[in-house]
Chain A
Amino acid sequence: MTTGKDRVMGMNRTSMCKWFVPAVAFVIGLVVAAAELGSNASPWQAAVAFVIVAGYALGLRLLQSRSETASLLSGLPVDERWESINNRALALAAEAIAIFLLAVFVVTEFGGGDAMPYAMSIAAFGVAYLGGILWYRWRL
């Protein structure tokens, strides 16, 4: 993995190798395809699942140098503003997930279903958030 620490003015985060995120997406595609096959899905369904995820990985790699958004999605924000965009988007996504999990937990609980997976997810989210506060309180 190469680093791009000094690549862009004002960026503190060590950026990843340009192949890292596409490679991870490719591996996820293989895992998803294997899971599909393991759940008795047809080979065609497994192949389609793999092509979708691997296509995303390939698209990211091909567009990395042409699109700043693709570069960000590849873990390579082009400058500090894109890093800030990434941080804000991550925070927004985290809030959306937290609200979604809470809503599903409440609906499942009132519907008499098993809400434990959602409760565990909410707990994991909370622990990660509190851990983040403690970590950055010490680091920043």
Chain B
Amino acid sequence: MERIPILRMGPFLLITIQVDMHDKLAMQLQDDVTQRISDWGSAGVLIDISSLEIVDSFIGRMLANIAAMSRVLGAETVVVGMQPAVAITLVELGMSLPGVRTALNVESGMELLYRSLGTSLGVAHDRSEA
């Protein structure tokens, strides 16, 4: 069965969505992410949607759900690289994804995750000063 790969990068999970999301794939992703967080004890999830060009309300809700579920499991979620057209569509659909943190690209998303890790664990991480 087709699924979206979830990569482990140190304390974080990196998910790059490169195919058009359909509902089944989205449900599968939700299952996988929650499973991985609990398996590996990840502290953050980074979802790169820069290749995603079409969204609907279901995908929007899925992103919000993953963020909410991850938070329950103790992990921050950052969505990065949203296309302008996608952002406009989500706003027009009335989905502002209030619980989801966002960043422009993977690099700044990672920075954001490292910073939140540094503060929440009370560790002075060297990248948190950048």
A and B from one complex? no
